[in-house]
Amino acid sequence: MGKNKKKQSRKAREDKELLKNLSMLARTGATLSESAEALGLTDKQLKDLFKKRRVLRTWREARLSLILHVRTALAKSAGEGKLPAI
Mean pLDDT over 65-81 rounds to: 88
Q: Is the pLDDT of residue 24 over 80?
A: yes
Q: Give the domain range for residue 33.
A: 3-85
Residue 86: pLDDT above 70? Answer: no
In this structure, are residues 85 and 77 in contact, taking their beta carbons and an 8 Å threshold? yes
Which pTM value belongs to this model? 0.79
| Cβ 14 vs Cβ 3: under 8 Å | no
Asked whether the predicted pLDDT for residue 83 surpasses 70, the reply is no
With a CB cutoff of 8 Å and minimum separation 6, the contacts of 50 are: 56, 59
Q: Are 69 and 75 in contact (CB under 8 A)?
A: no
Question: What one-character DSSP code corresponds to residue 42?
Answer: -
| 15/26 Cα distance (integer angstroms) | 16
Structural domains in the chain (count): 1
